Amino acid sequence: MAADTELTPTKYIDHHLTHMTVQVREGAFWTLHLDTLVTSIILGIIGMGCVWLVVRRATSGVPSRRQAFVELMIEFIDNEVKNTFHGNRHVFVAPTALTIFVWVLLMNTMDIMPIDITAWVTENVFGLHYWKIVPTTDVNTTFALALTIWFLMIFFSVKVKGLGGWMHELFCTPFGKNPLLWVLNLLFNFIEYVSKPLSHSLRLFGNIYAGEIIFLLIGMWAATGVAGVFFGAILGAGWAIFHILIVTLQAFIFMMLAVVYISMAHESH
């Protein structure tokens, strides 16, 4: 779909994997992926807005079909949180889990959209040459979510155990309070604190990004001829159906990990 005269496979993939960027300020860091941000915010507003619209008129009587669906989802999430988090989950943890699940699920689902059709629409209808519609294939998104959870984890650790308690945990667990082990404990905890957001965000990013790449490869096969179009369509459909599972599963895993991390912060060792 690039405007160049010659479309090579490299150009095709490059085009699909290039963000629409806005330079906020000078410097490499101050680049903003406008496509990621706008798409994710629109999806978040659609997702949370729909839930909010249903919930606003929620009755305790016989629920409407829409309310029953939302309740089903919320009770499913609430159950998962209840099994993990032992405290008053309604104050913060369960709503957060709901936000993560709905938002990440919607962002992941963008992956199933036919890539070249959406690219054509964004280019010809909205006039945007580069526009990635899957926010979770942007490592910034997954890191943003994972780091927010990471800060919440530290915040709740300090809030529940106090600053001293948290420090005590950093230095004295998991190996013991012997001063000789302090360095070892701290190192261990440091690795844990670094690995948590990394694994949390990269798992989601990797799965969705890989799915996107496979869609791109299938799309490239379809460019080779009639047989390519035929098998590409079959494979694309198959991969999309399989992707429904991956998309939901990854959203669920991301939510569960967030709940587990925040729960762990609430419990002293």
Partner 1 sequence: MNINFTLISQALAFSTFIWFTVKFVWPPLLRAIEERQKTIADGLAAGERGRHELDLASQRAADILKEAKQRASDVILQAEKRASEIVEEAKRTAKEEGDRIISGAKAEINHEIFSAKEALRQHAAKLAVAGAEKILRREVDAKVHADMLASIEEDLSNG
Residue closer to partner 1 (CB basis): 33 or 161: 33
Listed in sequence order, the DSSP H helices in 85-181 are: 93-109, 115-124, 139-172
> Per rule CB under 8 A, is residue 154 in the interface with partner 1?
no
> Per rule CB under 8 A, is residue 56 in the interface with partner 1?
yes
Residue closer to partner 1 (CB basis): 135 or 211: 135
Per-residue binding string, partner 1, 62-101, x by CB under 8 A, is -x---x--xx--xx--------------xxx-xxx-xx--
Annotated catalytic residue within 199, 201, 263, 268: 199
207 is catalytic: yes
Residue closer to partner 1 (CB basis): 115 or 258: 258
Instruction: Give the containing element (helix H, strand E) for 69.
Output: helix 65-84
> Per rule CB under 8 A, is residue 210 in the interface with partner 1?
no
Query: Percentage helix, strand, coil, to 5, in the chain?
Result: 75, 0, 20
Interacting residue with partner 1 among 52, 76, 175, 190 (CB under 8 A): 52
User: Can you tell me whether residue 137 is helix, strand or coil?
Assistant: helix
> Per rule CB under 8 A, is residue 255 in the interface with partner 1?
no
How, if at all, do strands 21-23 and 31-33 pair? Answer: antiparallel
Rounded to the nearest whole angstrom, what is the least distance from the CB of residue 3 to partner 1 in the complex? 24
Contact 63, 75 (CB under 8 A): no
Residue closer to partner 1 (CB basis): 7 or 198: 198
83 is catalytic: no
Q: For residue 5, how many other CB atoms are within 10 A of its CB?
A: 5
From start to end of the chain, where are the E strands? 21-23, 31-33
List, by residue number, the catalytic residues. 199, 203, 207
